[in-house]
Structure 1
Amino acid sequence: MPVLSKDAPQYNFKVTKTAAPLRHSVTESIRNSIAAGIYKAGDRLTERDLCEMTGVSRTAVREALRQLESEGMIHVLPHRGPIVAGVTPEQAEGIYQVRMELEGLASELFAQRATPADHKALRKAFKKMKDSSTSTDSIVRLKAKNDFYDCLISGAYNEALGQTLSMLNSRIMVLRATSLQAPGRTVQSMEELSELVELLVARKDAEARKAAIKHVSNAAKVAIGILRAQFEEAAAE
């Protein structure tokens, strides 16, 4: 299992036994450990380490790994087992292109269909996300952002849209973490999403769609730039 320096944030990936399906909780825990950079692209995921990290059985870990493989977050290689999948700049560009369209549509539908209760939940999630934006714990930040998007998608009332975004969520999480590495991007992101929330609640569907696409486009430029720099650095070594 990767060893962090003493100055690195200390994360707890133990799975809490709740009413939710155990596989879902274990999958989320391993997914978060990858998004937080505990495991990086190319790192091998051993069942023993994952059992120790999550506090669950090998059976539960294996089920979670199968789910993450289906999401494209890990690859299973012959004689090596599961490893963390990398995201190339070209793959990231494709993901962001799809994300622009889907989140633009989600925002348009939310503006048209959301109830007052949905508006309240979205504002609450945005406040939580904004409050957590200065946290040094990347998991706290990512969870808050995921909660915000869950509210957005829920209020769009389109099951197929939600399912499609859910399948992309693992890689979107990694790319979000990548884009937020850039200085100033967190502040800019909060400003963009604040504008989006106001348009959503005001039911300005066309403008909300444009604002959502602009937000994803700005995140794409930052994340893809970071990935290209990383790939160039690796190629030069």
Structure 2
Amino acid sequence: MTELADDYRVTRSAAPVREQAVIQLRSLLTRRFQPGDRVTEAAVCELLGTSRTTVREALRQLETEALIEIVPGKGPTVAKVGESDVRDLYEIREVLESFAILLFIGRASEDEKARLAFAFSELEKAHAGGEAARVLDAKQVFYDLLFEGAHNNTISALSQRIYHQVARVRLASLSADRIRAGIGELRVVHQLMVAGSGQEAQEAYAVHMRNARYAAVEAVKRFS
């Protein structure tokens, strides 16, 4: 496991403990574990500060999301993602998120549009800070608001699942050059959305996804 200073302990809040544990465990798998690493209940209990029962439930949830796989004789391990998996996932991302862009333009309220614009400005600030993990977090906020304004829960649920499956690959693929280029590509997409140019925004997003897919595949090759 990579040693990081992040605190993943579950805290008291309105959200159920199990739901918090699932969210934190997803983050752990992205930032502290490597594909193929064994995920022990004891280690996760210590990191999350929760009971074994909660951890077991969270692990089962992540197994259904293809983030965890049960290896005979080894137990829960972080699922591996190959080149073909990445290509498949990014192709589906392009279809879903491109359609979400079109829906957002037609369905989002003025408040939702303003929140998306603010999220993009925060993404640019994260880029200025120079930390890839923070850029990834800021991008996820942007996408969350995109899906919210698209008002299609199915697209949101499917896209979130794909996001978590490729999160580690995305983090590894975010070189300084790719971060800068990717934000520039998204800036064009967002500007076209603001202008109400749906088809042009989708075409610009297709370019963004092709470039992101290439970077992700190259990152997987480095893992192999």
Q: Provide the TM-score with structure 2 as the length reference.
A: 0.93
- Greater shift in the superposed pair: 201-210 or 139-148: 139-148
Query: 2: distance between equivalents of 1:50 and 1:42?
Result: 16
1:62 aligns with 2:42: no
* Structure 2 counterpart of 1:211, one-letter code: A
Q: Give the helix-richer structure, 1 or 2.
A: 2
Higher relative contact order (CA 8 A, sep 6+): 1
Task: State the Cα RMSD in Å.
Answer: 1.6
> What percent identity do the matched residue pairs reach?
33
2:117 corresponding residue in structure 1: 123
Query: 2: distance between equivalents of 1:145 and 1:178?
Result: 15
Which sections of structure 1, spanning at least 5 residues, go unmatched?
Answer: 232-237
1:191 aligns with 2:169: no
1:200 corresponding residue in structure 2: 193
Which sections of structure 2, spanning at least 5 residues, go unmatched?
Answer: none
Query: 2: distance between equivalents of 1:229 and 1:172?
Result: 15
Deviation at 1:138, TM superposition (A): 4.8
Q: Provide the TM-score with structure 1 as the length reference.
A: 0.88
What does 1:108-187 correspond to in 2, within 5 Å? 108-135=102-129, 138-180=132-174, 182-187=175-180
1:51 corresponding residue in structure 2: 45
Secondary structure of the residue that 2:150 maps to in structure 1? Answer: coil
1:39 corresponding residue in structure 2: 33
- Greater shift in the superposed pair: 66-75 or 209-218: 209-218
Query: 1: distance between equivalents of 2:176 and 2:215?
Result: 10
Secondary structure of the residue that 1:11 maps to in structure 2? Answer: coil
1:224 aligns with 2:217: yes
2:69 corresponding residue in structure 1: 75
Query: 2: distance between equivalents of 1:81 and 1:230?
Result: 22
Deviation at 1:190, TM superposition (A): 1.1
Deviation at 1:124, TM superposition (A): 1.2
Conserved 8 A contact 2:87-2:217: yes
How many residue pairs are counted as aligned between the two chains? Answer: 224
> What's the CA shift string for 1:191-234, capped at 9, x where partnerless?
11111111112211111111222111111111101212332xxx
